[in-house]
Amino acid sequence: DIVLTQSPGTLSLSPGERATLSCRASQSVSSSYLAWYQQKPGQAPRLLIYGASTRATGIPDRFSGSGSGTDFTLTISRLEPEDFAVYYCQQYGSSPLWTFGQGTKVEIK
Amino acid sequence: EVQLVESGGGLVKPGGSLRLSCAASGFTLSSYNMNWVRQAPGKGLQWVSSIRSGSTYIYYADSVKGRFTISRDNAKNSLFLQLNSLRAEDTAVYYCARGTTMSDVWGQGTTVTVSS
């Protein structure tokens, strides 16, 4: 089974700062099958990035994804107040079909 | 508006059963593979099960295999998850989610609590 490890667990930043979130896979993952989600308290996850680097519909361009193989990154260029949330990476594989990282919480410093 | 709405959650005793439903609107369910994902209180997301558009292929997480059954009724634009032999560790918010390699549409979730 592929394990996705996200780091850091918590990121304390101020609005306007840059956020860099990491997702490391225990085995190589196809870039086509790596996605990022944002989740706020009491809400369902929202798709941000798919195919490692393609923004989903309606996602602002301050969100960007990169990486390949076992190392992937979500970058938020300038944090807006509404960006403080938990972020999950997810991969599509064989068994289990979907694997999620444990999440990175971006909190206001 | 594209939307998924779950229902059927509740409080159930260990060993009990529940049937979750997910109603799709604003799109044709039969064109999409569908999934269930759960989130235990204060925890991360865990994939539970997936079903292909024509119900030809069905997949389960090891933790629910043999206890949960996913199904769909494309004519009624609905997805289902039958939960049997429930355990305390099945307590979670259950989301239905559209997609194959990732999900662009999620429901708001329905809460399942397993407790005596």
Please, are residues A24 and A2 in contact by the beta-carbon 8 Å criterion?
no
pLDDT in tens, A22-41: 999 999 999 999 999 999 99
pLDDT in tens, B42-92: 999 999 999 999 999 999 999 999 999 999 999 999 999 999 999 999 999
Are B11 and B110 a contacting pair, CB within 8 Å?
Answer: no
Question: Tokens 């994939």 identify what position?
Answer: B47
Identify the residue among B46, B98, B101, B110 best suited for mutation to test binding to A, counting A beta carbons within 10 A and taking the highest: B101
Give the pLDDT confidence score for residue A95 in this predicted structure.
74
3-state secondary structure of B106: strand
pLDDT digits (tens, 9 = 90+) for A51-91: 999 999 999 999 999 999 999 999 999 999 999 999 999 99
Q: Is A59 on the interface with B (CB under 8 A)?
A: no
Residues of B in contact with A98 (CB under 8 A): 35, 37, 47, 50
Is A81 at the interface with chain B, CB within 8 A? no
A67/B107 Cα distance (integer angstroms): 29
